[in-house]
Chains A and B, each alone.
Chain A
């Protein structure tokens, strides 16, 4: 597999996007629902709490009102009519009898208010074990003037409910006292005479509030003016803790704020932590009549909102299940989409490894099917393309320009390469004396030498859009005009030949610098009909030419000397007027009945302007002929013992030999200088006999063309040419 950049899979992306969006919508709707339901429930609860509080408050108030009436009535009576200490007792007794709710009644007087001798006057009737009992309050140790029930009404001049307290007797019964001051009124002047009180047990209050059930664990409680608990389901709080001590103990300032509100007689609804459990709760509170007490009702939030929470939980479960289901569907869907993609991906990997036969299944969503189809088409096309490319490469070898290959690949009929007869221009080149030169060289140097030469030649050939048919050693067979049609194949070929010859000068410069010897190349160019096509077997095919004209070109080539380009008459015809001709050569070729005229090309005129370097090729007649030995070459093999001969005239390309033997026209010879001293630097020539004539003295005079000149001999020739 190809390395994949880290990222999320399609399924993950879909889950993150669609699932995220769905979750967001769900959570929003869910939260909204929860908040609205919660608000509704709380509003309902507040209403319910208000009614409940009102109802309880009324019940309590009814009792308290009844109790308050008694001392009020007594106080009124005391203001109208002054009674003696003894006269107070029946009043108290009667009042107790008619008011069973009241535990005790006192009519306490200011010091010496009744008589100058009596500091304390406070008859107190109460329900004892044996009916109503009496007591006269006020001693040095029970100084009622400084007790709350008396002093508060005295100092404020108002009736009031005392802070609840435990009864003096057993300390078990919670009591409260209602005190009403009474005055002696003389005209405008009001003077405090005393305080009438009624005591009640608050046990009924506890029972009343214990009967209030609010959900499962909610409850009602009452606090006093001081914030002390008068009733609370937890007995340990009653008359020991206040809302303020709890606030401090629980370190919850909220409770203190609520408590202050409550003792000020406010109504309200607040969120608090339950005093005992610490659970979130709602507290509704309202004052209890004129007592100064406050009633509170605790609604545990968990129970209050149980339905809402239950519904919300169910909704959440449904929502989460839905989300999970959606994710599963997304995963399945994504897999359905991505499975063909994965197969495609695997197939692509196969394609990358060159297996074009892989096929992607054309299934799944339409886009995926389309993609798979395109992919399969791509595979087929690639297969065809590679086939075509391989064929072209195999066929044309490396000797066709990339441009030609590209054109062939692109052209629809470019591959119609079956054999066809076509007029082409064939070129053949060869290095003179290459074999002889290299026979004594190191193999590495041979290769270096050959590669330098060939790479340059191939480059030029490619430039001229030639197809290189074959390279054998130093020989090159190339043709112009196929596979792609070429109008001016003859001109291209000649131009190419000229460039090649010119390139030889550069190569020789480098070679001579490296001591590789001087080499010359002969080139033959011929135009004619040949069979061109893919030649070879299944296993190895090459695009090449065959036919008589190819052989003809080969023969032509053997007439060239170093640095020479010979063209056939057919080529010449096509280029008359363009080429700058050199000598004409009438030759007799093997297998060709009539003599053939070959034309030497010196250059191409306007607009090509390519010319070979002018060479001084005038024969120099030697005043002292060079003694040489000649050896015949038959089928490229030097044979025979050397025959003596003399070189009487010479130029860089040819010489005139005088010898005694019978030299044949067109015969190939090796000519060695006879006065050889250094065998390592043998002065040799390879020549072709071009003309033979008899000269006096049973001798022969032969015109020979050099096909190869040994570097040492070349030096000699140059010296001769320079000296004359």
Chain B
């Protein structure tokens, strides 16, 4: 696996899927600027600090989602029992695991919405532990970028504008989301969607975050060197190899 692929895996699972097909993709807009990944445990289980996770059953999502928590375990010198985690938090709710993976904007609130109080939970938001890895971004076939740079640029700019609009019109955004929730009978509710939007804002645009859509060279280098240090990659690809700058996207 090349360093570039590993990096791309760090940033997005979609990138991985593309990469699997041997297709070269480039980042054209970085949306999530820091990781929302967290590990959640019941305080009652005696887990209060990272070291308490040692030897415990921890639910982890599969594949590329494991990189971040594994780096976290490595940093804190923890060897937990890893249990593959599905798409629900029910295993944790039924005490099938001592700790579970959760996205701050989604699963964490599902736990709250299933009757667990925040005060009952110990949370390890990995970005608080130095793992400020940017997450979801928009990737594009390198070929497409080269063939139609302005189209890609417009696409990225429109996506960024869409997020901006959501943040400035949260109620309207929720109305739209809930319309589709009702149509699809999705098991979610407005309160949860509201939480998601607010948390997305927290990880997309926060104090000191790069402009929406931009990928900070520093963040990139930080992640890359972290991965290199952890032995996941051997060499750091250049920023420009990773990131395509179509016109219209804010630069760092």
Contacts and interface: CB of A to CB of B under 8 A. Distances in A.
Interface of A: 145-148, 151-152, 154-156, 160, 162-163, 165-166, 171, 225-228, 236, 239-245, 248-249, 256, 259-260, 263
B191 interface: yes
A152 B191 CA distance: 27
A227 B90 contact: no
A155 B97 contact: yes
Given A151-B83, A152-B96, 20 more contacts: A148-B91, A151-B84, A151-B91, A151-B96, A155-B83, A155-B97, A156-B95, A156-B96, A166-B187, A171-B185, A225-B93, A226-B93, A226-B113, A236-B182, A240-B181, A240-B185, A240-B189, A241-B191, A245-B189, A263-B115
B144 interface: no
B143 interface: no
Contact of B90 (A166, A226, A243, A245): A226
B191 A248 contact: yes
B84 A146 contact: yes
Chain B binding site: helix, strand, loop or mixed by DSSP? loop
Contacts of B88: 148, 163
Contacts of B93: 225-226
B85 interface: yes
B113 A245 contact: yes
Contacts of A171: 185
Interface string B179-222: 00110011111111000000000000000000000000000000
B20 interface: no
Given A148-B88, A152-B90, A244 B96 contact: no
7 contacts: A148-B86, A154-B96, A156-B94, A163-B88, A171-B185, A226-B93, A242-B113
Given A146-B86, A155-B83, A226 B191 contact: no
Nearest to A237: B189
B190 A244 contact: no
A249 B191 contact: yes
A227 B115 contact: yes
A159 to B, nearest CB: 12
Chain A binding site: helix, strand, loop or mixed by DSSP? helix
A166 B185 contact: yes
Contact of A244 (B90, B114, B185): B114
B182 to A, nearest CB: 7
A147 B90 CA distance: 10
Contacts of A239: 185, 187
A260 B115 contact: yes
A354 to B, nearest CB: 86
Nearest to A151: B91
Given A148-B86, A240-B181, A245 B94 contact: no
Interface string B66-108: 0000000000000000011110101101111100000000000
Contacts of A227: 113-115
Contacts of A151: 83-84, 86, 91, 96
B57 interface: yes
Contacts of B95: 156
B112 interface: yes
Interface string B217-250: 0000000000000000000000000000000000
B70 to A, nearest CB: 18
Contacts of A163: 88, 90
A117 B145 CA distance: 45
Most B C-beta atoms less than 10 A away, residue of A225, A244, A263: A244
Contacts of A242: 113-115, 189
A262 to B, nearest CB: 9
